A and B are shown apart, each in its own frame.
Chain A
Amino acid sequence: MASRDEIIEKAKNSILEYDAKEAENAARESIAGGVSPLDVIEKGFTAAMNIVGEQFETGEVFLPHVLAAAEAMNAGIAVLKPEMGRLSAKMESKGKVLIGTIEGDIHSIGKDIVASMLGIGGFEVIDLGKDVAITKFVEEAKAHKADVVASSALMTTTMICQITLENQLKEAGMRDKVKTMVGGAPCTQAWADQIGADIYAENANDAVVKLKALVE
């Protein structure tokens, strides 16, 4: 039986090697060995993710590496979830972000990248997917007590739905309880200002930086 430190080391290396199977193995071993799941996450997965994040900043690795590391981390955490539920252990979060590609728009890759990067950045991300009805944004924001409602649009024809989202959040009495963030190719800071969105994010990095600034 591997020691606690060995298991945590294994968890860390699995992320650094972008290996989802190894991340799951490390998670299973930690449960069998009675290692705290939060320790595995914090000292193993998250520690490794921070290293990958630093490598990304300095240009040593790129988006494919970061997202692969995030996928491996998510695979490991998925294994740990039932154990955390049993122990009533909760992961620390910088805040809850509800994210989706807006109604009528199916272009989701940019939104997927933003969601992954926010997850890596320590936010709890609830990804509603693509072509998300405005009513669903509002209902889910209420149900999850989201801190941020983020919507993306690739087309000028769907971008206008971001106005509807602002309005419906107001009508539901939710607008002052959440911050709104908009992004996507046609969106600009001017657009965000025009419709009254709180944050405009140019790209995934920008989204992480601006949301972190908001919570800190």
Chain B
Amino acid sequence: MVKANIPAGQEHIEGLGLEMLNNSDLRLIHEATMEVLENIGIETKDPEALQLYADAGCEVDFEKGVAKIPEYVVMDAIRSSPSRVRLAAVDKKKDLVLRSGPYVNWAPFGVGIEFLEFDANGKHRVRASTEADLKKSMTICDWCDGFSVADPTIAARDWTENGRADLHEVSTALCNTTKPFTFGEPEANGFEDYFEMAKLVYGGDEELARKRPLVNVCNCPTSPLQICDNSTQITIRAARNMIPNVVISMSMAGGTGPVTPEGTLVTQNAEVLADIVLAQLAEKGAPVTYGTATTIMDLRNGIASGGAPEMALFSAAVAQVSRFYGIPCGDAAGCWTDSKVPDAQAGFEKGLTAMVPALAGANLIFGGGLLEMGQTISLEQLVIDNDVIGMINSMLKGMNITDSRILMDDIEEVGIGGHFIARASTRKAMSEQSSPLVFDRNMRGPWEKKGEKDAALVAHEKVEWILENHDPCGLDRDVVKDLEAFVARRDKEFLK
């Protein structure tokens, strides 16, 4: 039989998308960035980093600590950066492979320092975050199916002066999720400890701990055009150990970058690429991803805005720029807000800043649970953001206009009047529908009967349910004990 109407693949990937920048835009950004790196360069005081730049052919002023990086060195680094980066999980099935195509994933925010306590009558109280808060946050992130990764969202500040807070955070993360995670505030000299802890998880198997690193890291250049010692060392050590490392520029247009988003797009690109170059010079093929938390400095009050539409534009632009280089967009800011509580401002700013980078195909959008531009974390907000994410994911599917999706048979059989509710096709496709957990879709009557609760209160009840019912731990009891003992030993050494 002759096959008719075979679809030719015009647009290969189905779904709804946004391409803000065209090819000449991307070329222009690239050329301007090369101009900055070649003529102005990047500053670092780390002699090891400067030596790596110099050995590769950069013009290095060791006294001033400035490396001017020629385009060919940048292009070599881009070529040797992988297009796919695997974030390994305690549960292998939950590994996340970040790909440099328009494939969207979601992460919570890390790392906040304040915790928003919620009580049932809508009152909020904010205080310094603790290890116990982090454990709860990990449990929620592990449960929420919107998050592909469960990054530690808050610092264990109850340990800052009493022990190794960083190890408490890593241990709490390892014990309370089977999803992959990136540790948001690594110390360069903590790498051996992080590795030892991963080894404990793998029952002492050193090879596995190297092959499937569990403590992924991130580092942030200092805008404009500097990388501090801790950052260069994180990049170098992560590269040499083949540990996934996301480089996040946190430039502020009008403050630490030019006031125009276009100008700041160039300087933040220079910062991230300089760091990625360093990673590739330390170890060819090192798994690095391109991140952004770049936004505007609100020039009326001097703060960096986390809910500004401009931030959404930066994250969307970075999604495209990183794809242009074939490097996964590891952590792009989105689902952010300046609001202090889960309210209307949070809802709108989060929806806006989540949706635009998602449409642009950012590979990992981070911001879940965040309030007050990352200062504060709320468990209720994590659950609300899980709904925001689910709804945006539904929207990304767009419409797929094909004969089989039009369901002409159903249209003919139901005909005029009647309904489609009882059709087999309806049952089958029901799971395709968006279905939020805390956003209420009832009419007023049933909503009133359920107690007239707003989203934050419903989320609070969900949080309590999850903490009561979800066991996030994927490790044997012995391994958990080993980790706790390891951290306790390091605490003792710290206090000596």
Contact = CB atoms under 8 A, between A and B. Distances in A.
Interface of A: 18, 62-65, 67-68, 70-71, 108-109, 112-113, 130, 185, 188, 202-203, 206
Interface in B38-80: none
State the 3 A-B residue pairs at the shortest beta-carbon distance, nearest first.
A67-B422, A202-B445, A68-B422
A96 B165 CA distance: 71
Interface stretch (B15-23, B291-299, B310-318, B423-431): B423-431
Interface secondary structure of A, over-half rule = helix
B421 interface: yes
B417 interface: yes
Interface of B: 417-419, 421-424, 426-427, 430, 443, 445-446
A185 B443 contact: yes
6 contacts: A64-B421, A64-B427, A65-B427, A112-B419, A113-B421, A206-B445
A18 B422 CA distance: 9
Contacts of A130: 417
Given A63-B421, A108-B417, A113-B421, A68 B427 contact: yes
B430 A62 contact: yes
A43 to B, nearest CB: 23
A70 B422 CA distance: 9
A153 to B, nearest CB: 15
Nearest to B446: A202
B446 A203 contact: yes
B417 A68 contact: no
A185 B444 CA distance: 10
A64 B446 contact: no
A109 B422 contact: no
Nearest to A205: B446
Most buried by A among B421, B423, B427: B421
A63 B426 CA distance: 10
A202 to B, nearest CB: 4
Contacts of A67: 421-422
Given A18-B424, A68-B424, A68-B427, A109 B419 contact: yes
Nearest to B420: A64
A185 B418 CA distance: 19
Nearest to B445: A202
A204 B430 CA distance: 20
Nearest to A70: B422
A206 B448 CA distance: 14
B429 to A, nearest CB: 9
A35 to B, nearest CB: 27
A109 B422 CA distance: 12
Among A188, A202, A203, the one with the most B-chain Cβ atoms within 10 Å of its Cβ is A202
Contacts of A206: 445
Contacts of B430: 62, 64
A89 B355 CA distance: 61
Given A68-B421, A68-B427, A109-B419, 19 more contacts: A18-B427, A63-B421, A64-B422, A64-B427, A64-B430, A67-B421, A68-B423, A68-B424, A68-B426, A70-B422, A71-B422, A109-B421, A112-B419, A113-B419, A130-B417, A202-B443, A202-B446, A203-B443, A203-B445
A67 B445 CA distance: 23
Contacts of A188: 445
Nearest to B419: A109
Contacts of A70: 422
Nearest to A116: B422
B418 to A, nearest CB: 8
Contacts of A71: 422
A68 B445 CA distance: 27
A130 B422 CA distance: 19
Nearest to A106: B417
A65 B430 CA distance: 10
A130 B419 CA distance: 13
A109 B419 CA distance: 7
A191 B426 CA distance: 34
A112 to B, nearest CB: 6
A12 to B, nearest CB: 19
A78 to B, nearest CB: 15
Contacts of B418: 112
Contacts of A63: 421
Contacts of B445: 188, 202-203, 206
B446 to A, nearest CB: 6
A64 B365 CA distance: 35
Nearest to A69: B422
Interface hub of B418, B422, B443 (most chain A Cβ within 10 A):
B422
A36 to B, nearest CB: 28
A57 to B, nearest CB: 15
A130 B427 CA distance: 26
A203 B443 CA distance: 10
B448 to A, nearest CB: 10
Nearest to B426: A64
A112 B414 CA distance: 14
Nearest to B427: A64
Contacts of A202: 443, 445-446
Nearest to A71: B422
A131 B418 CA distance: 14
A70 B421 CA distance: 11
Nearest to A20: B422
A206 B446 CA distance: 10
A56 B321 CA distance: 49
A109 B418 CA distance: 7
Contacts of B422: 18, 64, 67-68, 70-71
A63 B419 CA distance: 12
A37 B206 CA distance: 71
B413 to A, nearest CB: 12
A173 to B, nearest CB: 33
A190 B79 CA distance: 71
A107 to B, nearest CB: 11
B411 to A, nearest CB: 16
A10 B19 CA distance: 55
B324 to A, nearest CB: 44
A64 B422 CA distance: 5
